[in-house]
Amino acid sequence: MKAFLILEDGQIFSGESIGSTKDSISEIVFNTSMTGYLEVLTDPSYAGQAVVMTYPLIGNYGICYEDMESDKSWVSGFIVREMAKLPSNFRCDVSTHQFLKEQDIPGIQGIDTRALTKILREKGTMNGLITTNENYDLEEVLKQLKAYRVKDAIKTVSCKEKTLYPSEKEGTSKKVALLDLGTKHSIVRCLTKRGMDVTVYPAATKAEEILKDNPDGIMLSNGPGDPKECQDIIEEIKKLYDSEVPIFAICLGHQMMALANGANTQKMKYGHRGANHPVKNLETGKVYISTQNHGYVVETDSLPEGIADPLFLNVNDKTCEGVRYKKKKIFTVQFHPEACAGPLDCGFLFDEFMKMMEVDT
Amino acid sequence: MPRKNEIKKVLVIGSGPIVIGQAAEFDYAGTQACRSLKEEGIEVVLVNSNPATIMTDKNIADKVYIEPLTVEVLEKIILKEQPDSILPTLGGQVALNIAMALDENGFLEEHNVKLIGTSSLTIKKAEDRQEFKNTMEKIGEPIAPSLVVNTISEGLAFVEKIGYPVVLRPAYTLGGSGGGIAENEEQFLEILENGLRLSRVGQVLVERCIAGWKEIEYEVMRDANGTCITVCNMENLDPVGVHTGDSIVVAPSQTLSDKEYQMLRTSALNIITELDITGGCNVQFALNPNSFEYCVIEVNPRVSRSSALASKATGYPIAKVTAKIALGYHLDEIPNAITGKTYASFEPTIDYCVVKIPRLPFDKFIHAKRTLTTQMKATGEVMSICTNFEGALMKAIRSLEQHVDSLLYKDFEGLSVEQIKTDLHRVDDRRIFLISEAIRKGISLEHIHDITKIDLWFLSKIAALVETETEIKEKELDARLLLKAKRFEFPDSVIAQLKGISEEEVKQLRKEYGIAPAFKMVDTCGAEFEATTPYYYSCYDSVNEIKAQKTKKRVMVLGSGPIRIGQGIEFDYCSVHSVWALRKMGYETIIVNNNPETVSTDFDIADKLYFEPLTPEDVENIVNQEQPDGVVVQFGGQTAIKLTSALLNMGVTILGTSAENVDAAEDRELFDGILEQCGIPRPQGTTVFTKKEALKAAQELTYPVLIRPSYVLGGAGMQIAISDKDIIEFMDVITQHKQEHPILIDKYLMGKEVEVDAVCDGEDILIPGIMEHIERAGIHSGDSISVYPAKSISKKSQEVIIDYTQKLACSLHVIGLINIQFIVCEDEVYVIEVNPRSSRTVPYISKVTGIPIVDLATEVITGRKIRDLGYEPGLQKASEYFAIKMPVFSFEKLRGAEISLGPEMKSTGECLGISKNYHKALHKAFLGAGINIPKHKEIVLTVKDADKTEAIDIGRRFQALGYKIYSTSGTCKVLKEHGILAHPIHKIEEPSPTLLDLILEHHIDLVIDIPNQGIDKSHDGFLIRRHAIETGITCLTSLDTANALLTSLENGMKDFNVINISEI
């Protein structure tokens, strides 16, 4: 079946429908990872967005359910050059096409994804409609596209109730409170694997409630949308900051911690989404390859002096990739040390978080 | 960290002659590294024995030594030049081994020279089997159960424990020389004995066979600060068991999930970190297709063939970055030249699929075993880029130039299903075609997978191509179907053939439907950042990325495709120099080529690089896009020349010699006419099409005759025939492929072969020098030792040669380069071959004479005159240096290949010996080719009856040098009759001990075995020669070569100077 991708600026790509055939309006973003499409599909940070994969051959190894980063797919659409007909991998459960159908995610294949990526690079992220309706009314569609905003995404993706994930290691364990702003399973796994009992709290949980449980450390997760949108959550994060509990934050959590301390964030032209971004640790000079998925960034210049120092820097565009809060046992990163998809190089940051919890104050 | 200031003068070691397992990739790496070092103000001293390389150009390094790559020579150069550092990681295994030897013998420490890039400790940890095993165990990286054995009994004991099949890998050899898989004791003993001998340290690794697992490679980079990145990963279509150099390889991996991809990536980074490598490194893994189990197969602590492929596949210049890291830079301080916005610490991501296919030499060695094993056999490779795997595969297949443009392979069409099922077990270079035939015949993908272990994903893609063939055949060729076929890169000619219409009709249909290729950019970053480097590939996608703005005149240079016997690295040298010359003259330059190993496909050589097959259709697409003002075909070997008429049909101007005149040189009748007109004699001959005509012609000319197809390179299919039987066998082989051109038969003259390269501007000619071959006519010029300046040609003959060259160049209206081969026989000069293009000898003559031949030819084809370029026409003054070009062979890699020399070329590379003294030059040339005797002072000498008289002199001279001579009865008798003490030795069929036993005892330095002419080589002689080669004994098959070697030995020219050719 034919499918169309209509962009906010009026450009139209025509291809073949994959997955669900329903219409979907969303923000169109591109991801440059060559593997890990399932992790992308199920990463809650993509809520409200349709993802274009720049690598043209997608679905080659099918879907391995155990690699899902959350319980369902959150993307609003999936755009690929070519979807594999016959996936091949010893763990493959279903084909990607089948998965998209199961998850009711509409998609399109057979379009020039490189050309589309270049448009997004040059004009910046924009909204788009994926549709199988050949008789669309362009004027009407464009009106809808202009009006579309990703809204209340955190509330949609966050868990509904507090859940405990026990440590996977024998012996005594630390207690970590994970504020779920749209967390990936991998963050939980990175913690439990290292011997932590992880309690996941819904995004709307009050700081007091978390602190009342006496966690040894607090983790702020990744998540979708504009960090400034949820002032209520930022206020709670400020309270967490004021406590003496060690905190480690990733991506959206990192941005909201910065906002809670008076720094500013801004929307990037087309963001960083991929598994190949070099980040430099400003304390050691060492560079790591990181997984990234963000459309907003903390303005380095806005970091409050004496309180927060840049910790990581993006080698390519020199944007802020991490912050250390000087007076506190807090550090935050913009990138994804839990990887999935992407390189496992930065997993040591979870070890550092653990060390921070172990040292007596 | 900024660069280390104590590094001021660096010695870069090249990789020597091209052999199987070590090809042009090291010229590419070395050239890039030298330029990168010079950019930093470093004084670069370069040594490489291979004169056909670009790296040995005066403008690449400050001091250039074309000298044998031996420890002694390196010591001389170090003493003379006093470099503070050596960069050993860019010249392949050869450079690494020499650097290790210099380190181990204490020379480097004594003279305060440091190894930069990677330390000797690191090299040892990665290369020494036991050390490597210990290191992997230390960091918990799995390797297949294995043991390093030093003796046969140790090996047997171990294999009893782990069971068959096992893989054997000798330590410190290149291209997996001497390795293999053994299924039983007999095979095990054979490979182990051979491997122990070939290994530099007498060690062979015996390990559990993991054949059938996925073979995955990672190219990783690391700096001194410990930052690591992966440039690219690659997946072999052929599972473990086939050397990666002989495998079809795809980048990036296709069948790995992120979990597997990252697991292996992390392992690769752990390994490079533990080995403390600074620079580029290649890690090979075997991955169990049914679990997360994996093994590390091998680590190369240096740039390699795979790193060249990874560089071209991603645009990331590994060698350049490796050189910068060696100077102390960190990855995040080295800008990415392609984007200008990112740094070398950014991992490339690609948005296309890359396929590499090896070029195997079985067209040259029809009797060699085609089976692919862990010992590499390919001489070169092609790479292709497309947005889908099917298209990339199709493009790569036609880039090979092996008469096949699709998955349709005539030889397999008639096979029965049962036969195919049996044959699928055979792993050889044609397996991909057999698989497609299997699919065509309805054999299930699962069944094919069970036999071949090739991943179902790849098989499903091959099936998609086969289905498309059927669709084209059976369905209406509408816009949808045609677009699908073109997206899968079916050439118009194949579509036409399937559909039963003409190629022109397919083209018309494409025009009608508006189906045209788009060109996309290779930018290292999947379009995330704007890139400015114009490195392009075509695909049938919608949006073309090339901006059509033309500010200056545009010239397109066609490259020479994959390295193969007869068309080697020298043509890349010529193509690159032509591009450089054109750029200097102010033209916008475009290069088209498909060989990932070469300098020409580096992204900053020409203004635009098209990584595309060199077929008429592919080239036409580029011509349509670029509308060049001229195209240059004379530097890209036969690959480019072959495209001449197609280019003319496109209405493109060919710079230099016109197409009609190219034809005139190749077309026998036209050429004979010209010779007659000029009064130039040639050996009598004629053209034929059929076996019957051939026999008649040969009988009339009287045997021996030379028989060959026209339009060939490297003497492909050329034979000396001594009887009707030879003619019949030859015609049967040659007519397997459709012959569009006639077969040539000439009287064979036994004289001296002489060769000239000349530049002609239409009026005047410039001859840089005359070369003379040591071997008499009948041995291909590429396999002969070539001496410049000619030593034994009379003044009178030389004048005739100059006169003939002038006449021929003018009559053929040559503009640019011409190569002519003559025979001087009893003071009479005959012309035997004319090539209106650049030749194999151009690079070496350029270097030794200091005359930039390609630059001059390039100026001339753009309309300038020799006199305007500061040169007097005619033969240039001879150099005061002798330069002797020695062919180098790779016979030990090709089981079953006949090694005796003849009119068909067999050498894979060459080296040079330079000296003011002829004998010293000769000695250096032999040394460079690895012929270093005496060791035991024992030789075997057996000759055919006709040569017995000449053998007497040879025997006498070896005896005088103190050699013990063994001969079989006939030769022995003759030698004894002439007072030479020859020791009789039994022929193979006689009772033991025979000649073979003697050879296998490892006491023989040299075997001189002169076979009969003609195709019918005796089986005994063949066995003797093969055993000699496989035992590592030098084997000569021409008395002329033996004579030259004797001359070199007699003059005992061990003491020689090293010569910086930039001062010549």
pLDDT tens-place string over residues B104-129: 999 999 999 999 988 899 999 998 87
Length of chain A: 361
> Given a cut of 80, is residue B963 above it in pLDDT?
yes
Q: Which of residues 257-296 of A touch B (CB under 8 A)?
A: 274-278, 280, 285-289
Angle at B1048 between CA B1046 and CA B1053, to 5 degrees: 145
> Given a cut of 50, is residue B204 above it in pLDDT?
yes
> Closest partner residue to B542 among A54, A115, A343, by Cβ?
A115
Given the residues A254, A277, A294, A336, the one annotated as active site: A336
CA atoms of B556 and B755, how far apart (whole Å): 29
Buried b (16+ CB within 10 A) or exposed e, B819-852: bbbbbbbeeebbbbbbbbbbbbbbbbbbbbbebb
The number of helix segments (H) and strand segments (E) in chain A equals 10, 19
Instruction: Give bridge partners of residue B281 from the DSSP assignment.
Output: B220
Rounded average pLDDT over B368-394: 95
Interface test with A, best of B213, B216, B257 (most A CBs within 10 A): B257
Strands A106-109 and A77-80 come out as parallel
Interface test with B, best of A32, A94, A114 (most B CBs within 10 A): A114
Given the residues A272, A338, A340, A346, the one annotated as active site: A338
CA atoms of A127 and A148, how far apart (whole Å): 7
Question: What would the CATH number be for the domain defined by B519-655?
Answer: 3.40.50.20
Given the residues A251, A320, A340, A346, the one annotated as active site: A251
Instruction: Order across the sheet with B294-300: list the strands.
Output: B294-300, B279-287, B214-222, B228-236, B249-251, B353-359, B380-386
CA atoms of B677 and B671, how far apart (whole Å): 10
Which fold, B9-116? Rossmann fold (3.40.50)
Thinking of the domain B934-1050, which architecture would CATH place it in? 3-Layer(aba) Sandwich (3.40)
C-alpha R_g of chain A? 20
Q: Is A86 on the interface with B (CB under 8 A)?
A: yes
pLDDT in tens, B789-820: 999 999 999 999 999 999 999 999 999 999 99
CB contact under 8 A, B347 and A345: no
State the ipTM, two decimals.
0.97
> Closest partner residue to A280 among B332, B347, B520, by Cβ?
B332
Rounded average pLDDT over B137-152: 91
- Residue A250: φ, ψ to 5°: -125, 135
The three-class DSSP label of residue A94 is: strand
- Residue B819: φ, ψ to 5°: -125, 125
CB contact under 8 A, A115 and B543: yes
CB contact under 8 A, B262 and A343: yes
Query: Which part of chain B has CATH 1.10.1030.10?
Result: 356-515
> Given a cut of 50, is residue B714 above it in pLDDT?
no
- For residue A81, list chain B residues with Cβ-Cβ distance below 8 A: 387-388
The three-class DSSP label of residue B685 is: strand
The single residue listed with the structure tokens 């993509």 is A46
Amino acid found at B77: I
Nearest to A268 by CA among B350, B344, B348, B528: B528
> Given a cut of 60, is residue A325 above it in pLDDT?
yes
Distance from the Cα of A298 to chain B's closest Cα (Å) equals 20
Amino acid found at B726: D
- The per-residue pLDDT for B713 is 47
Helix axes B71-81, B92-104, angle to 10 degrees: 70
CA atoms of B353 and B526, how far apart (whole Å): 12
Length of chain B: 1064
> Which chain A residue shows the shortest CA-CA distance from B446?
A88
The single residue listed with the structure tokens 């057999």 is B434
pLDDT in tens, A109-163: 999 999 999 999 999 999 999 999 999 999 999 999 999 998 889 999 999 999 9
Q: How confident is the model at residue B164 (pLDDT cuts 50, 70, 90)?
A: confident
Give all domains of chain A, ordered by start, each with its CATH number: 2-150 (3.50.30.20), 154-358 (3.40.50.880)
Q: Tell me if residue A97 is catalytic.
A: no
- The per-residue pLDDT for B719 is 77
Query: Which part of chain B has CATH 3.40.50.20?
Result: 9-116, 519-655
The three-class DSSP label of residue B862 is: coil
> Closest partner residue to A56 among B225, B351, B518, by Cβ?
B351
Rounded average pLDDT over B231-243: 95
Contact B552, B586 (CB under 8 A): yes
Q: Is A243 on the interface with B (CB under 8 A)?
A: no
> Given a cut of 70, is residue A50 above it in pLDDT?
yes
Q: What is the maximum span of chain B, computed from C-alpha positions, in angstroms?
A: 84
Give how far Cα B735 sits from Cα of B107, B218, B565, B740, B741, Å.
58, 44, 21, 10, 11
pLDDT in tens, B253-294: 999 999 999 999 999 999 999 999 999 999 999 999 999 999
Q: Which DSSP helix (H) or strand (E) runs through B732?
A: helix B724-734
C-alpha R_g of chain B? 28
CB contact under 8 A, B350 and A55: yes
CA atoms of B346 and B326, how far apart (whole Å): 19
- The per-residue pLDDT for B685 is 86
CA atoms of B487 and B407, how far apart (whole Å): 15
- Residue B601: φ, ψ to 5°: -95, 15
Distance from the Cα of A91 to chain B's closest Cα (Å) equals 8
Answer CATH for B356-515 from 3.40.630.30, 1.10.1030.10, 3.60.15.10, 1.10.10.10: 1.10.1030.10
Q: Which residue has the higher pLDDT, B532 or B859?
A: B859
The three-class DSSP label of residue B641 is: helix
- The per-residue pLDDT for B510 is 97
The single residue listed with the structure tokens 């010549």 is B1064
> Which chain B residue shows the shortest CA-CA distance from A346?
B266
Q: Tell me if residue A277 is catalytic.
A: no
> Given a cut of 70, is residue B747 above it in pLDDT?
yes
DSSP alpha helices (H): ranges in B171-330? 185-198, 258-274, 305-314, 318-326
Rounded average pLDDT over B584-600: 97
CA atoms of B30 and B404, how far apart (whole Å): 33
Q: How confident is the model at residue B358 (pLDDT cuts 50, 70, 90)?
A: very high
What is the DSSP code (8-state) at residue A20?
Answer: B
Cα dihedral value B776, B777, B783, B784, nearest 10: 40
Give the lowest-confidence range in A296-305, B7-16, B940-949, B1006-1015: B1006-1015
State whether CATH 3.40.50.12160 applies to domain B120-143+210-348.
Answer: no
Rounded average pLDDT over A29-55: 97
Q: What share of chain B is helix, strand, coil (3-state, %, to 5)?
A: 40, 20, 40
Distance from the Cα of B254 to chain A's closest Cα (Å) equals 6
- The per-residue pLDDT for B177 is 67
> Closest partner residue to A278 among B332, B520, B526, by Cβ?
B332
Query: Which part of chain B has CATH 3.30.1490.20?
Result: 145-209
Confidence (pTM): 0.94
Q: Which of residues 47-76 of A touch B (CB under 8 A)?
A: 54-57, 60-61, 64, 67
Angle at B409 between CA B407 and CA B415, to 5 degrees: 120
Rounded average pLDDT over B37-59: 96
Query: Which part of chain B has CATH 3.30.470.20?
Result: 120-143+210-348
- The per-residue pLDDT for B711 is 60
The single residue listed with the structure tokens 């055919």 is B944
CB contact under 8 A, B345 and A82: no
Distance from the Cα of B451 to chain A's closest Cα (Å) equals 17
What is the DSSP code (8-state) at residue A63?
Answer: B
Distance from the Cα of B527 to chain A's closest Cα (Å) equals 6
Percent of chain B with pLDDT over 90: 73
Rounded average pLDDT over B444-462: 97
CA atoms of B5 and B337, how far apart (whole Å): 23
Which fold, B145-209? Dna Ligase; domain 1 (3.30.1490)
> Which chain B residue shows the shortest CA-CA distance from A120?
B528
- The per-residue pLDDT for A96 is 97
Query: Which part of chain B has CATH 3.40.50.1380?
Result: 934-1050
Q: Which of residues 317-346 of A touch B (CB under 8 A)?
A: 317, 339-345
CB contact under 8 A, A315 and B225: no
Nearest to B1045 by CA among B919, B889, B943, B959: B919
End-to-end C-alpha distance for chain A, whole angstroms: 63
- The per-residue pLDDT for B167 is 86
What is the DSSP code (8-state) at residue B231?
Answer: E
- Residue B550: φ, ψ to 5°: -125, 120
Q: Which DSSP helix (H) or strand (E) runs through B924?
A: helix B918-928
Give the lowest-confidence range in A147-161, B634-648, B856-870, B1050-1064: B1050-1064
CB contact under 8 A, A114 and B541: yes
Q: Tell me if residue A254 is catalytic.
A: no
Q: Where are the beta strands (DSSP E) in B628-751?
A: 630-632, 654-655, 685-688, 705-709, 719-721, 743-747
